[in-house]
Amino acid sequence: MKLAYWMYAGPAHIGTLRIATSFKNVHAIMHAPLGDDYFNVMRSMLERERNFTPVTTSVVDRNVLARGSQEKVVDNITRKDAEEHPDLIVLTPTCTSSILQEDLQNFVNRAQVESKGDVILADVNHYRYNELQAADRTLQQVVHYYTEKARKRNELPEGKTEKPSVNIIGISTLAFHNHHDCTELKRMMADLGIEVNAVIPEGASVYDIKNMSRAWFNLLPYRELGLTTAQYLQEQFNTPYVDITPMGVVETARCIRKIQQVLNEQGAAVDYEGYIDEQTLYVSQAAWFSRSIDCQNLTGKKAVVFGDNTHAAAMTKILAREMGIKVVLAGTYCKYDSDWFREQVSGYCDDVLISEDNGEIGDAIARLEPSAIFGTQMERHVGKRLDIPCGVIAAPIHIQNFPIGYKPFMGYEGTNQIADLVYNSFTLGMEDHLLEIFGGHDTKEGITKGISADSDLGWSKDGLAELNKIPGFVRGKVKRNTEKFARERGVEKITAEVLYAAKEAVGA
């Protein structure tokens, strides 16, 4: 556990709450002090929810610390069971409430006696797991609970569906473009003649879980959420899973071919090659666009990619393999799964960075000076400070990354959206020069401090005056080169003379 002013992945209880609130008619009781209860506001705002978020905070205060919290927690569970009539109540602690070392499973057992709905304790290590790991673990726990419950009651259906079918696992609230991706994946499955047996957890009832065994295979669009659930279902019901993320022309085709293989191994006799060719030629414009004169102008340009495993790996492949853009650095904050990421991006980038420190990735971007960044909102802010454009491809995200319009990143329509994002993220041709000619562009004084919080580099008035005389389309690069020159020589304040010396040093 550490203090941080900005984190790529939130604490464990956020992951658990994301799963609980993704299911229909499930309520979460969060055992936490005031200050840990921001999830409701965050979800209502970002998802533009019309209904109240089904999370209640059982507040840990001084009275609870003095007397113990068992009665209060049990009362909150039974009260919400009577008021809301949920199918399931999930009790989750937070890091701070876990310090109390209370027997929360005993609280759950007591509450279950009086509650009509089911009650479970989120079995997550809040000191070792982050938001993504906790979400994955909680989903597997819920699926396991209702599978075993149905098994004990002899309610598990036997056999598979008559036609090929799929469970799409990992679609959840507060995730990056999940709803749009899910719609696109459903369309793709329909085109392939595959029925959607269940979408878990978003919008599903916990009573849908017992029917997951009927699917012919499971599809995991996101590596971070659903993998342990798919492994559990494979172990219990011998259900194969496809974990190839269908992002980009090449990986979408590879995903479909894997689905074809999985279905044919079960006697389906399907052939999707014609579908892949038609979609690549006529629905996706990305393959054509990557060969157009517009995209050729991007060939060889440098880019930095950073995000979660799924999106950062997919974007690295798309940039390098499909668009001819040089990825000088690919990185992820999913340290717990770093081996997979390195394997995926190997051969598609110059270097790999595995880090949870946004200052470290910011310093790397400043050092590499790419033409564009593809990352999270943190990298977007870094790009603003360095005057480098950034396309957001992964969480952490802002409300602008929950578009009202349809913007999937997966499937063949997703290839078009990604191509647009990439193209529009670069500074194109004479764009900055024309803006400079017409005036009003980039007349503010440049930010002169480095990305790292410990940077104390500054500019004098005459230095800034000279810097602002430089055309906007090269000013950012000149500023960064000058600051690098000054740091190497221990100069704390950049004057006009230092600027001239730096220009001479680099032959500018």
Q: Is 270 helix (H, G, I), strand (E, B) or coil?
A: coil
Cα separation of the two ends of the chain: 47
Q: Any catalytic annotation for residue 294?
A: yes
Residue of 19, 391, 331 whose CA lies nearest to 175: 19
Positions of the chain with pLDDT under 50: 1, 440-450, 453-455, 508
Give the pLDDT of residue 229.
98
The verdict on whether omega for the bond into residue 201 sits within 30 degrees of 0, i.e. cis, is yes
Q: Are 482 and 499 contacting, i.e. CB atoms less than 8 angstroms apart?
A: yes
385 Cβ neighbours under 8 A, 6+ residues apart: 447, 451
Q: If DSSP codes are grouped into helix, strand and coil, which group holds residue 217?
A: strand
- In terms of phi and psi (left: phi > 0; alpha: psi -120 to 50; beta: otherwise), the region of 442 is left
Q: Is the dihedral of CA 219, 220, 225, 228 positive or negative?
A: positive
**What confidence score (pLDDT) does residue 60 get?**
79
- What is the spatial distance between Cα 361 and Cα 367, in angstroms, rounded to a whole number? 10
- Whether 454 contacts 479, CB under 8 Å: no
- Which tokens is 37 given? 């209860």
Q: DSSP readout, 417-449?
A: HHHHHHHHHSPPTTHHHHHHHHS-SS-SPPP-S
* DSSP conformation letters of 438-479: HS-SS-SPPP-S-SSTT---EE-HHHHHHHTTS-HHHHHHHH
Which one of 103, 294, 350, 357 is the catalytic residue?
294
What is the rounded CA–CA span in Å between residue 121 and residue 109? 9
Distance CA 97, CA 31 (A): 6
Report whether 349 contacts 316 (CB < 8 A).
Answer: yes
| Separation of alpha carbons 275 and 211, rounded Å | 29
What is the residue-averaged pLDDT of the chain?
88
Which contacts (CB < 8 Å, 24+ apart) does range 285-291 have?
A: 285/415, 285/416, 285/419, 286/248, 286/249, 286/322, 286/415, 286/416, 286/418, 286/419, 287/249, 287/322, 287/415, 289/419, 289/423, 290/322, 290/323, 290/324, 290/419
Q: What distance lies between CA 327 and its chain's CA centroid?
A: 20
- Which strands sit side by side in the sheet containing 26-32, from one edge to the other? 55-59, 26-32, 88-93, 118-121
Residue type for 277, please?
A: D
Q: How far apart are CA 297 and CA 360, in angstroms?
A: 30
Helix (H) or strand (E) holding 17: helix 12-22
For residue 487 the two structure tokens come to 């740091």
pLDDT of residue 435: 56
3-class secondary structure, 246: coil
Q: What is the C-alpha separation between 391 and 375, in angstroms, rounded?
A: 6
Give the type of residue at 130.
N
Cα dihedral 337, 326, 348, 7 in deg (nearest 10): 0
Cα–Cα distance list, 206 to 52, 449, 459, 465 (Å)? 20, 52, 60, 64
Question: What's the pLDDT score for residue 453?
Answer: 42
Whether residue 143 contacts residue 232, with contact meaning beta carbons closer than 8 Å, is answered with yes
Tens of pLDDT, residue by residue over 247-306, are: 999 999 999 999 999 999 999 999 999 999 999 998 898 888 877 777 777 888 999 999
